[in-house]
Amino acid sequence: MNNIEKIKKIEKKIKYKFKNKDLLIKSFLHSSKHKKLKKISNNHISEFERLEFLGDRVLGLVIANLIYKNFPDYSEGQMSIKLSFLVKKNFLSEIANELKIYNFIEISNNKNINLKNNKSILADTMESLIGAIFIDGGFTESIKFIKKFWFEYIKDEKMQLNDPKTMLQEISQKKSKKLPIYKLINKKGPPHSPEFTVEVNCLKLNKIKGTGPSKREAERIAAKNFLDFHKLIDEK
């Protein structure tokens, strides 16, 4: 895939068009690439790591502000818990997988790395991308991007540090280095009151279902049911 095709596909995924296309490319050029180049030239500085540093701060500030504005009854402790969950690597890697950005990340030639399951690289790239959007479009565009992909989770009061989807993902990656697979198997009911049934497949154990008023809630319930049925909570 050449850079022009890559840029078009990324911009379509993230729903933002860069003025500085080179900045977008740099945000996906993982630091492992730079470390390889540094062996050739000691003066080579990783722009990826600089963007990642910036994006981490921008994300934290924007999420903290959105929590503050949307939960006026939350204490400082409650806001901290929600913020911690929404900016940690596990959650960033989930957003990254939703956007399928693993298809565009450039790393050093290591065929053993499975980008789709590498939480650290996925999370770092999300932060680098946010840093690039901030440089390219300022706070306004950064806020738009973060709200687009985080806001439904920010509003969800059930989102906690012990969210069952996150717990199941951590256990699955620890045991098999693979992500749980969620499959929508049924949707019924009127538009104003739909009911979704999702099945989760994980760790080669019996598939377990969950039903809820949205696909995301059905996935959360399926993950909880899976953890309970297979008694995996204590194994985390």
If you average pLDDT over residues 173-199, what whole number do you get?
91
Residue of 47, 52, 124, 127 marked catalytic: 127
Inter-residue contact 37 to 29 (CB < 8 Å): no
Check residue 42 and give its pLDDT.
Answer: 45
End residue of a domain, out of 122, 155, 188: 155
Q: By residue range, what is the domain housing residue 203? A: 164-235
**pLDDT at residue 122 is higher than 80:** yes
Distance CA 33, CA 24 (A): 16
**Global pTM value:** 0.67
- 80 and 175 part of one domain: no
For residue 38, what is the DSSP state? H
User: Is residue 221 scored above 90 in pLDDT?
Assistant: yes
Tokens 């953890």 sit at which residue?
A: 227
Q: What is the pLDDT of residue 236?
A: 43
Q: Give the mean model confidence (pLDDT) for residues 69-98.
A: 87
Q: Are residues 108 and 174 in the same domain?
A: no
| Residue 171 in this model has a pLDDT that exceeds 90 | no
Q: Which domain-ending residue is among 155, 188, 223? A: 155
Residues 105 and 64 in one domain: yes
Catalytic residue among 47, 56, 163, 199: 56
Q: What is the pLDDT of residue 46?
A: 80
- pLDDT of residue 108 exceeding 90, the answer is no
The answer to whether residue 83 scores a pLDDT higher than 60 is yes
Question: What is the C-alpha to C-alpha distance for residues 142 and 149, in angstroms, rounded to an integer?
Answer: 11
SS3 of 95-106 = HHHHHCHHHCCE
Reduced to 3 DSSP states, what percent helix, strand and coil does the chain have, rounded to the nearest 5? 65, 10, 30
pLDDT number for residue 43: 44
More confident: 108 or 28: 28
Round the average pLDDT of the chain to a whole number and report it: 86
Asked if 124 is an active-site residue, the reply is no
Last residue of a domain, one of 121, 155, 189: 155
DSSP letter (8 states) at residue 207: P
Region at 230 (left for phi over 0; alpha for psi -120 to 50; beta for the rest):
alpha
pLDDT of residue 170: 78
In eight-state DSSP terms, residue 235 is G
pLDDT at residue 234, as a whole number: 52
- Whether 127 is a known active-site residue: answer yes
Shared domain for 131 and 189, answered yes or no, is no
The CATH number of residue 203's host domain is 3.30.160.20
Please tell me the predicted confidence (pLDDT) of residue 41: 41
